[in-house]
A and B are shown apart, each in its own frame.
Chain A
Amino acid sequence: MKQKIWKWASLLPLSLVLLLSGCSENMLVMRPKGPVAKTQYDLILWSIGFMLLIIVVVFVLFTVVLIRYREKPGMENYEPEEEGNTLLEIVWTAIPILIVTALAIPTVKATFALEKPTKEKVEPITIHVTAANWKWIFSYPDQNIETVNYVNIPVDVPVKFKLTSVGPMNSFWVPQLGGQKYAMDGMETELFLEADEPGSYMGRSANFSGEGFTHMEFEVVAQTQKEFNKWVKEAQSTAPKLSETKYETILKPGLVGRMTFSNTHLEWIDHSKQNSHHAGEADEQARLCNPLEGNGIVVE
């Protein structure tokens, strides 16, 4: 009876494999669609190799030791004594050092590489990203377009995202295009990403920023250069102008849908250059998002 249970229990890990193969479609980090994500994917695979090796070695040793040296009848007079073994200890200090070195070198290389544009020959397109409670605002200074909660980019062109925030810190993350970076009030951080396949990619805030944080998602639409140009033209000619008052209403805490404008808020304010709030406004803002006064989430 007991053995039967173990037989079935041993199948449990298998069920995990089955479950995961069903989910692997959704494993965004492991399905890179651009050079940045690919660099990180390679680094992750490289590290997983070493980690599996360590796990296998430790688990095998562990199992062998437990089976071999469990207390058995007839061991009454066995008095094990052993203090240590300098040679062995040097070995298992040296091996982790080697492994860490093998991981550190590509890590440092990749970390430096990710700070630079993904391509040298192609001029990057610049997009300002402003995180605000709880939406993402994208400004194209060269194309003079502003979008909310979605961003169109051309494929095979490096995109230089200049990140900032109005209010709490958020983190700009598009798993399939590459790792994240923080967007902070009064600061500007830069993140290079690039898509090499047209498609729609999920992006979201990865840093908790309050009540509406969970819904702080955006879509990255990667298009061929031709389609992108077409979209730019269309937006420039058909989208409404963004006014300062309209912009103020967008910034108010709450959720909004997608929007497109044919100018950018950079005309009158760049949040990365200044603290977004002054003492007086802060009080106003505080009242607006006071959870004691009704529920803060406004859907427009």
Chain B
Amino acid sequence: MKWSEFFVTGEPLIYAADVAIVLTVIGIVFVLTYFKKWKWLWDEWLTTVDHKKIGVMYIISAVLMLFRGGVDALLMRAQLTAPNMKFLNSEHYNEIFTTHGTIMILFMAMPFIIGLMNIVVPLQIGARDVAYPYLNALSFWLFFVGAMLFNISFVIGGSPNAGWTSYFPLAGNEFSPGVGNNYYAVALQISGIGTLMTGINFLVTILKMRAPGMTLMRMPMFTWTILITCVLIIFAFPVLTVALALMTFDRLFDTQFFTMANGGMSMLWANLFWIWGHPEVYIVILPSFGIFSEVVSTFARKRLFGYKAMVYSIVGIAFLSFIVWVHHFFTMGAGAAVNSVFSITTMAIAVPTGVKIFNWLFTLRKGKIRFTTAMLWSLAFIPNFVIGGVTGVMLAMAAADYQYHNSYFLIAHFHYVLIAGTVFACFAGLHYWYPKMFGHILNERLGKWTFWLFMIGFNICFFPMYFLGLMGMTRRMYTYSEGLGWTPLNVVASVGAVLMGIGFIVLCYNIYYSARYGERDMTGDPWDGRTLEWATSSPVAHYNFAITPEVKDLDAYWEMKKSGKGFEIDEEKLKPIHMPSNSGRPFLISIAFFFAGFGLVFKWFWLAIIATIFIALGLILRSFDDDDGYYISVDEIKRTERLSGKGA
């Protein structure tokens, strides 16, 4: 292989990116060396098994990926603003929409949600860490190297270009001969393993590590949604694992699972992909419902209306999510009977979702609503998500779907549910739980600026797309001709995209501004919260709870406050706390995964084999590891608690 094929060449944008990457790396290395922070980085972050730090790293990665995916989106909008634009050519555009979709779903939405659940779930259930802290670190680093592997594709070797759905036969060697789609197969596989382990980890954590008294029906709604999400992950991700493995065989070893020759079946890919893919969208939306439930009930100062119905409806949605996948290809000609069945199961999802919407509205009713930034995001979710939801029902009607399928109507729909659902929830959760992560509050004024810019921009960007779809504009077109009359709405959409971009910049500035000047949260309970995470100090002590709380009611901390006691720490009752030791091994194993993946992408099997040996070595060493963790002494707990103002 020649160097000119190894590095992507020929595009000024790519050269600019090359320069930016090199400068950033040099910058980071310089800063770390100059301020002598290497040891700090290793001790505090790279080797940590603390769920809160892992959560923070997930969120930082997600915000970085939001930037990357957002730049992709803006490039696409720039290209589509006017007819016959020459800004991007077809090949470049194809790569950009592929990476935009893949990154936004798998490397932005997923880690953002997983980050929040890492930080919040153990706190909400009164636990000191997750069930398998070491595994948790490995999950994060596998996700992270998967994301990095996927991202370097645009400067080394070329990006995948067959769409985030990667349909065969297009994604096969015959029509996509470069290494781009190898990146897709391998990078998603690596991060997918991490996600699967997260699902197992949190399922066990929630089932086994709840504080005494917290029955399942006393769990906070966010924890409930995470529990169900874990079940979805455990059932759905193995399908992706298998599908990607078959894809990898097809691409690297010329097997014929999905090709057109020798009995290969491209429809098999579409089915496998969506059997994972549909539950996947619920994996990112159910936790969002959980976040909105927490925020709405906190700032309406009311218990969640119809808690039980909310629980049953998420279980119902989760179940239905596995029997609707065919609606992604009603147009494949499976026949009227099949389409009718999947049409009805899909529409049925509207029922539990509708129940939830009304329960949120009735949580607000008779409340004392405070319009904080987190609350604004949660409130905006309701009308916007309803627009996305009802158009989803329209898409579910098979006969009508033949007219919407793959058009901008579909694009508008899924952005309305994924942005108004998941992204709004991530921002709401970020503002809401920020004090728990960093000990200060994100500036409310800037937060509201972000909210209005982003929310209005979002509507300006995506609402016109419903109409573009009805005009016959299909997704993944890199340009269009003037006579079609699509120009005005495309211009409007691009304006909206720019507003969303500005909103994102304000958010980043807010993170910087609040770190410097933000209001410190001394109480640990800045919002007058209802669940156990607000019983801890901000930022949360390493061991979370000095004493394991006892739960007597749903909204456990609210009940403690109402009974007048709050969460008291009786110093007499303190015992040494057992904590897991840090380990660099998850990080190192993941680095080996990165090289194994890189070797597979380029078919450098020697590299893949050597790296795999290192992976195996890491696993073996772990098996002989007899580090049982360590104890935090009572004195140290007392000192920490007094410093945070929580101790007596």
Instruction: Show the binding face of A for B, using Cβ within 8 Å.
Output: 16, 19-20, 22-23, 25-30, 37, 39-40, 43-44, 47-48, 51, 54-55, 58-59, 61-62, 65-66, 68-71, 75, 78-85, 88-89, 92-93, 95-97, 99-100, 103-104, 107-108, 110-115, 133, 167-169, 171, 173, 175, 178-182, 184-187, 189-190, 202, 204-214, 275-279, 282, 285-286, 289-292, 295, 297
Most chain-B Cβ atoms within 10 A of its Cβ — which of A65, A66, A97, A103? A65
* 16 extra interface residue pairs, beta carbon distance < 8 Å, beyond A19-B488, A182-B331: A26-B484, A26-B486, A28-B472, A29-B404, A40-B400, A58-B361, A83-B305, A83-B307, A103-B347, A107-B400, A167-B170, A169-B169, A173-B474, A186-B260, A207-B167, A214-B479
Q: Answer whether A279 and B300 are a contact pair too, CB < 8 Å, given A28-B470, A111-B398.
A: no
B581 to chain A, nearest CB (A): 44
A-B contact pairs, 27 of them (CB 8 A): A30-B470, A48-B394, A54-B354, A55-B387, A58-B386, A59-B386, A68-B365, A70-B371, A71-B369, A75-B368, A82-B302, A89-B306, A97-B351, A104-B343, A111-B336, A111-B340, A114-B336, A167-B170, A169-B169, A173-B472, A175-B403, A179-B405, A181-B332, A182-B332, A204-B472, A208-B167, A292-B5
- Smallest CB separation, A193 vs chain B (Å): 11
- 6 closest pairs, A vs B, by CB? A179-B402, A110-B399, A189-B333, A26-B485, A84-B306, A51-B390
Q: CA of A59 to CA of B489 in the docked complex: distance in angstroms?
A: 25
CB of B478 closer than 8 Å to a CB of A: yes
Name B402's contact: one of A69, A99, A180 (CB within 8 Å).
Answer: A180
Q: Which residue of B lies closest to A64 (CB)?
A: B365
A167 to B266, CA, bound (A): 11
Q: How far is the CA of A198 from the CA of B571 in the complex (A)?
A: 88
Partner pick for B475 among A81, A208, A210, CB 8 A cutoff = A208
The stretch of B147-155, B171-179, B187-195, B592-600 in contact with A is: B171-179
Give Cα A168 to B484, complex, Å: 26
Q: Which of B91, B333, B489 has the most CB of A within 10 A?
A: B333
Tell whether B467 is near chain A: CB-to-CB under 8 Å: yes
Any A CB within 8 A of the CB of B564: no
Q: Are B471 and A23 in contact (CB under 8 A)?
A: yes
For the complex, what is the distance from the CA of A179 to the CA of B405, rounded to whole Å?
8
Contact A277 B260 (CB under 8 A): yes
Residue of B nearest to A281 (CB): B261
Chain B hits for A23, CB < 8 A? 467, 471, 485, 488-489
- Is the pair B476, A277 in contact by a Cβ cutoff of 8 Å? no
Indicate whether B362 reaches chain A with its CB closer than 8 angstroms.
Answer: yes
- Which residue of B has the minimal Cβ distance to A88? B362
Task: Contacts A114-B399, A275-B260 given; indicate if A103 touches B364 (C-beta within 8 A).
Answer: no
Say whether, besides A29-B470, A107-B398, A182-B333, A80 and B302 are in contact (CB < 8 Å).
Answer: yes
State how many angstroms separate the Cβ of A280 from the closest Cβ of chain B: 10
| Interface residue B163 (Cβ < 8 Å from any Cβ of A) | yes
- A84: which B residues are within 8 A, CB to CB? 305-309, 359
Chain B residues closer than 8 Å to A185, beta-carbon distance: 169, 260, 266
Smallest Cβ-Cβ distance to B180: which chain A residue:
A291
Query: Is A93 a contact of B351 with CB atoms below 8 Å?
Result: yes
Q: Are A22 and B488 in contact (CB under 8 A)?
A: yes
The distance in angstroms between the C-alpha atoms of A62 and B296, with both chains bound, is: 13
Given contacts A28-B471, A92-B355, A277-B174, contact A171 B309 (CB under 8 A): no
Contact B485 A25 (CB under 8 A): yes
- Binary flags per residue of B350-366, CB closer than 8 Å to A gives 1, else 0: 11001101110110111
Check if A59 sits within 8 Å of B383, measured CB to CB: yes
In contact, B364 and A168 (Cβ under 8 angstroms): no
**Min distance, Cβ A109 to any Cβ of chain B, angstroms:** 8
Known contacts A69-B364, A84-B309, A182-B329; is-contact A111 B163 (Cβ 8 Å): no
Verify if B29 is at the interface (C-beta below 8 Å from A): no
Contact in complex: B394, A47 (CB < 8 Å): yes
Q: How far is the CA of A297 from the CA of B348 in the complex (A)?
A: 45
Does B514 lie at the interface of the complex (its beta carbon under 8 Å from any beta carbon of A)? Answer: no
Cα(A215)–Cα(B114), bound, Å: 41
Q: Per-position contact with A for B18-59: 1 when CB-CB < 8 Å, else 0?
A: 000000000000000000000000000000000000000000
The residue from B365, B383, B394 contacting A44, defined by CB atoms under 8 A apart: B394
Contacts of B359 in A (CB 8 A): 84, 89
User: In the bound complex, what is the Cα–Cα distance between A182 and B480 (angstroms)?
Assistant: 22
CB B493 to nearest CB in A, in angstroms, measures: 12
Report how far A169 CA is from B359 CA in the complex, Å.
43
Q: Please, which residues of chain A bring their CB within 8 A of the CB of B358?
A: 88-89, 92
A78, chain B: closest CB distance, angstroms: 6
**CB of B267 closer than 8 Å to a CB of A:** yes
A81 to B301, CA, bound (A): 9
Which parts of B446-492 form the interface with A (CB within 8 Å)?
463, 467, 469-472, 474-480, 484-486, 488-489, 492
Assembly CA distance A23 to B486 (angstroms): 8
Chain B residues 419 to 448 lying within 8 A of chain A, measured CB to CB, are none
Residues of B within 8 A of A68 (CB): 365
Which residues of A have CB within 8 Å of B584? none
Chain B residues with CB under 8 A of A279: 261-262
Q: Give every chain A residue within 8 A of B260 (Cβ-Cβ).
A: 167, 185-186, 275-277
Distance, CA A112 to CA B401, complexed state (A): 14
The CA-CA distance from A169 to B306 in the complex, in Å, is 47
A80 pairs with B177, CB closer than 8 A: no
A residues near B347, Cβ cutoff 8 Å:
100, 103-104, 107
Chain B residue numbers with a CB within 8 Å of A108 are 336, 340, 343-344
Question: Of all chain B residues, which has the CB nearest A282?
Answer: B174
A206 near B406 with CB under 8 A, answer yes
Q: A180-B331, A214-B479 are in contact. Are A85 and B306 (CB under 8 A)?
A: yes
Assess whether A275 is in contact with B261, with CB atoms less than 8 Å apart. Answer: yes
Contact check, A208 vs B476: say whether CB atoms are below 8 A apart: yes
- How far, in Å, is A299 (CB) from chain B's closest CB? 13
Shortest CB distance A190–B (Å): 7
Whether B393 is near chain A, meaning CB under 8 Å from some CB there, is: yes
Q: Is B78 an interface residue (CB 8 A)?
A: no
Task: Judge if B382 is at the interface, Cβ distance under 8 Å.
Answer: yes
Knowing A19-B489, A55-B386, A276-B260, say if A169 contacts B167 (CB, 8 Å).
Answer: yes
Give A148 Cβ to nearest chain B Cβ, in Å.
Answer: 19
Give Cα A47–Cα B393 distance, bound, in whole angstroms: 9
Q: Is B397 part of the contact surface with A, judged by Cβ < 8 Å?
A: yes
Chain A nearest CB, measured from B23 CB (Å): 28
With a cutoff of 8 Å between Cβ atoms, the chain A residues found around residue B407 in the complex are: 206
With contact pairs A107-B343, A208-B170 given, residues A40 and B486 touching in the complex (Cβ less than 8 Å):
no
* Structural contact, B471 and A66, CB atoms closer than 8 A: no
A278 touching B261, Cβ below 8 Å = yes
Cα separation A39 to B399 with both chains bound (whole Å): 9
Q: Which residues of B contact A75 (CB under 8 A)?
A: 368
Let me know if B336 and A112 touch, CB within 8 A.
Answer: yes
Shortest beta-carbon distance from A191 to chain B in Å:
8
B531 CB-CB contact with A under 8 Å: no
B218 at interface (Cβ–Cβ under 8 A)? no
Name the B residues within 8 Å of A210 (CB-CB): 94, 162, 170, 175-176
Does B618 interact with chain A (Cβ within 8 Å)?
A: no
Task: Flag if B361 contacts A61 (CB, 8 Å).
Answer: yes
Q: Which residues of A contact B300 (CB under 8 A)?
A: 69, 80
Report whether A80 and B386 are in contact in the complex, using a CB–CB cutoff of 8 Å: no
Residue interface mask B404-420, A partner, CB < 8 A = 1:
11110000000000000
A291 & B91 in contact (Cβ 8 Å cutoff): yes
Report the bound CA distance from A104 to B177 in whole Å. Answer: 44
Give Cα A83 to B300, complex, Å: 13
Contact B331 A171 (CB under 8 A): yes
Contact indicator A29/B403 (Cβ below 8 Å):
yes
Contact B394 A211 (CB under 8 A): no
